[in-house]
Amino acid sequence: MTRSRKFRAAATAAVLAALTASGAVATASAKPPAGPAKVTACGAFFDDFNYSSRTDPNFTGHDWSVRTGAGGPGIDGTWTAANVSFPTVDGQKSLQLKATTNGTAGGTTQAQVQQNTEPFFAGTYATRFKFSDTPAGGNDGDLVNQTFYAISPLDYDWDPTYSELDISEYLPNGGWGETGPVDFITSWNTYQEDPFDGWRISTARRWSHAGWHTLVATVGDGHVKYYIDGSLAADHIDDGDGHTVYPRRPMTLNYNEWFIDLTGHSGGTSTYVQSADWVYYAKNEVLTPSQATARVNSYRSSGTTHADTISC
């Protein structure tokens, strides 16, 4: 599986550096704990994505930002703020990301939303996510990637503290050597940018994932476990060659939608969308998928649309 990683972690570092320089954020310490963190309850993060727009002061006040400017992955320089919105999707207020292309770099736009700081490490990650197999408009066939992941900066090639958990990278039209729909779940040790080479383990689910799914990842006791709709999809420990894929430093939390390349385009302009109903993280606490969902339901039933107690 050939996978283009160039610019992604570097772009993460650039986004965080720019925000920090402007006084917008103070990044968390990158020093990793000694070994797997003890799994005990502490803090949590929850967001119901109940915002009016990407410029809603509550959205930015809750430490979210929308990516613009240059960098990868995908088509360089096409990250577009206007591609992020908060419509009602299937009855629920949701974060929606859009990616469009007419088959040229100049006619392509991609979308990314991220938390600005890096407090996400051991514990439980969860989101309710809507994948799509077909475009919302235009011809089908583009090599689009619909994603939810946690990532740290790559400070240099083969950085031993680099950490990344691709909780889902869904390719409805294939790509990276795949010809049909596939969802990649990938845990990383580290890599070098150019020429690309990296240490990671990936689980491929080669069938349609169109529609709503609850994605859960747990990080604890040396394991990174991934669940989709309550069923265990992957249990990652190392890359098969002895390189651990357990995170070694805190990460940011991200959603993005982007094109692997433009070779699948067949004319006109095509628009693809992905949606997220909510996101939840339990710090240093490994939960079952049902326990994570119950926590989310408790927030929602009480009318809470956002909570952040990670720093406790």
DSSP output for 192-243: ETTTTEEEEEEEEE-S---EEEEEEEEEETTEEEEEETTEEEEEESB-SSS-
Measure the CA–CA gap between 157 and 151, rounded to whole angstroms.
15
Query: Which pLDDT band holds residue 12 (cuts at 50, 70, 90)?
Result: low
**Mean pLDDT of all residues belonging to the chain:** 90
pLDDT at residue number 162: 98
Please state, as a whole number, how many other Cβ atoms lie within 10 Å of the Cβ of residue 263.
11
Contact in structure between 192 and 7 (CB atoms under 8 Å): no
pLDDT at residue 226 in the model: 99
Give per-residue pLDDT as tens, 201-238.
999 999 999 999 999 999 999 999 999 999 999 999 99
Q: What is the band of 11 on the pLDDT scale with cuts at 50, 70, 90?
A: low
Token pair belonging to 39: 């799994």
pTM over 0.85: yes
Question: Percent of the chain beyond pLDDT 70?
Answer: 87
Query: What confidence category does residue 39 fall into, taking pLDDT thresholds of 50, 70 and 90?
Result: very low
Give mean pLDDT, residues 35-58: 81
Distance CA 17, CA 27 (A): 9
Contact 151, 113 (CB under 8 A): no
Residues 6+ apart with CB under 8 A from 221: 36, 39, 286
Average pLDDT estimate for 298-308: 97
Rg (CA), the chain: 18
| Residue in the structure block whose two tokens are 């570092």 | 13
pLDDT per position as a tens digit, 248-271: 999 999 999 999 999 999 999 999
**pLDDT-derived band at 312, boundaries 50, 70, 90:** confident
Interval 154-170: pLDDT, tens: 999 999 999 999 999 99
Is the pLDDT assigned to residue 13 strictly greater than 70? no
Q: How far is CA 108 from CA 55, 122, 171, 256, 257, in A?
A: 22, 36, 17, 14, 12
* pLDDT for residue 42 is more than 90: no
Q: What percent of the chain has a predicted confidence (pLDDT) above 90?
A: 85
pLDDT tens, 120-134? 999 999 999 999 999
Half-sphere exposure of 198 (CA within 13 A, CB side): 27
Residue 193 phi/psi, 5-degree rounding, is -75, -50
pLDDT at 116 over 80: yes
Q: What is the mean pLDDT of residues 44-51?
A: 98
201 contacts: CB under 8 Å, gap ≥ 6: 186, 187, 236, 238, 239, 240, 245
Interatomic CA distance for residues 67 and 282, integer angstroms: 25
Cβ neighbours around 212 below 10 Å, total: 17
Gap between the terminal Cα atoms of the chain? 41
Q: What is the pLDDT of residue 22?
A: 36
Q: Is the pLDDT of residue 14 over 70?
A: no
